[in-house]
């Protein structure tokens, strides 16, 4: 079985996320910083009438801050909330590189060591263009406590 993945550039690394979770890609909109938000949240933005949190993926992965420039983009993803509903979240990346089709057999289990990325964020490991690429589970990129803080701030 083949599934589509979007590859993202974060610093010098390439990561992949399931294309099925990606709603759209937009240029970085204006952000409103909320002091009580987790550090990884760069701010909130209004995307066509819906307020969404915008996460700096580099910060959350522990590789520094994303340098903001005119071409910085936000990948808007839908995150299930456990109640059968979902909410949107934006993820800042250095670049969106490509969409690739991967066979399920080409995806290995998530490594439990050898990476600086929190294992809870990793859905698997694959090879793309002769490089190892971590597949991220963006639904797990925020802890339950961080997710509650963000939802409370968005609801305010």
Q: Identify the pLDDT of residue 82.
A: 64
Is-contact 55 66, C-beta < 8 A?
no
pLDDT tens digits, one per residue of 35-72: 888 888 999 999 999 899 999 999 999 888 999 888 78
Residue 117: closest CA among 101, 100, 138? 138
- Class of CATH domain 2-155: mainly beta
d(CA 84, CA 49): 22
User: Across-strand partners of 80?
Assistant: 86
Q: What is the pTM of this model?
A: 0.87
**Percentage of the chain modeled with pLDDT above 90:** 51
Q: Identify the pLDDT of residue 123.
A: 92
């Amino acid at each position: 079985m083949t599934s589509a993945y979007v590859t993202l550039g974060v610093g010098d690394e390439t990561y992949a996320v399931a294309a099925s979770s990606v709603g759209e890609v937009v240029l970085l909109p204006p952000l409103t910083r909320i002091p009580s938000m987790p550090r990884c949240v760069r701010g909130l933005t209004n995307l066509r009438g819906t307020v969404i949190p915008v996460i700096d993926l580099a910060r959350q992965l522990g590789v520094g801050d994303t340098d903001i420039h005119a071409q910085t983009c936000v990948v808007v993803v839908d995150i299930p909330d456990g109640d059968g509903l979902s909410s949107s979240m934006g993820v800042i990346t250095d670049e969106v590189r490509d969409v690739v089709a991967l066979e399920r057999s080409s995806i290995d289990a998530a490594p439990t060591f050898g990476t600086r990325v929190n294992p809870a964020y990793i859905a698997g490991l694959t090879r793309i263009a002769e490089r190892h690429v971590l597949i991220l589970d963006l639904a797990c990129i925020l802890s339950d406590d961080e997710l509650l803080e963000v939802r409370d701030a968005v609801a305010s």
